[in-house]
Amino acid sequence: MTSDVIIFYNMKIREIKVKSILTKTKLGADFAINPYVGCAHACIYCYARFIKKFTGHKEPWGSFIDIKMNAPDLIPKNKNKFKNKSILFGSVTDPYNPFEKKYKITRKILEKLISLQPRIDIITKSNLVLRDIDLLKKFKNLTVVVSLSFLDEKIKKQLEPLASSIKKRIKLIKKLHENKIKTVVFISPIFPEITDWKKVVAKTKIFTKEYWFENLNLYFTIRNNIFDFLKRNCPNLVEEYQEIYSDKNDYWLNEKRKIKKFCNKKNINCKIYFHH
């Protein structure tokens, strides 16, 4: 891996070259592609910050990004490589983070994949994906998974500082639907007493037929961030969160039952990815 370092405001940007771009994954796909290392959205709950122990980054999560400049050149030309295979974009980064607007690494990778026609899932919080509608339409089996956990912009700004606004994400889902591109609304992570997943469904159900649900998992790398947020904004919830995340609490089991019952009643396709 080689790199050139650029400082952009408070972001450290490295333009790097890598040896591979495809990694095997168990996250519902055969392969994952992450066109970037790090993410400029700076979500305080992001589990992906664990990658720092492998990449050697010392900077705080959300203050660095590595651009995999040669990533598009690493897509195999052999069409059989992806026959009946699936690729997930964005397992540990947002492939449409703000720097994609300039570098277009995700777009260039998609261009290389059109002739190979794997199944594609793209997870994002960014309305920048609309720029690539022309490419998305060229895939026979492609889904854009839009992460949306909150409807309150003030909450969003504190938990997901540089991600697209709630308003823009809802417009994104609508626009993709109008262009006949399959969408999933990913309600992740669910914050107890803060995320109103029923309202998220009500706000978006016209434009999508499937929902994924994931609970807030208090990894040790984010636990302090979450409780600092609660102390500043929802001090009345601190004790409740401590109870929910105690060893023997069944909060998430009950929440899972509620979601299943609700989705069955509303004839909503859903997948629940709860961590206990």
pLDDT tens string 54-66: 888 888 888 999 9
What percent of the chain is predicted at pLDDT more than 90? 79
Q: Between 186 and 81, where is the model more confident?
A: 186
Nearest to 123 by CA among 196, 76, 172: 172
Cβ(242)–Cβ(223) under 8 Å? no
* Average pLDDT of the chain to the nearest whole number: 92
- Cβ within 8 Å of residue 169, ≥6 positions away: 125, 127, 146, 148
* Range name among 5-9, 245-249, 263-267 with the lowest pLDDT average: 5-9
Q: Is the pLDDT of residue 87 over 50?
A: yes
Do the beta carbons of residue 262 and residue 198 sit within 8 Å?
Answer: yes
Question: How much is the pLDDT for 6?
Answer: 40
pLDDT band at 31 (very low <50, low <70, confident <90, very high): very high
The rounded distance, in Å, linking the Cα atoms of 61 and 230 is 19
The token pair at 75 is 């897509």
Residue 8: band (very low, low, confident or very high) from pLDDT cuts 50, 70, 90: very low
The C-alpha atoms of residue 219 and residue 76 are separated, in whole angstroms, by: 35
The tokens for 94 are 């947002």
Report pTM. 0.92
Confidence check: pLDDT of 14 > 90: yes
d(CA 162, CA 108): 23
User: Any idea where the domains of the chain sit in the sequence?
Assistant: 2-273
Fold of 2-273: TIM Barrel (3.20.20)
pLDDT at 276: 60
Q: What is the pLDDT of residues 155-197, one digit of tens each?
A: 999 999 999 999 999 999 999 999 999 999 999 999 999 999 9
Phi and psi torsions of 21, nearest 5°: -125, -20
- Of 275, 34, 49, 62, residue with least CA distance to 158: 62
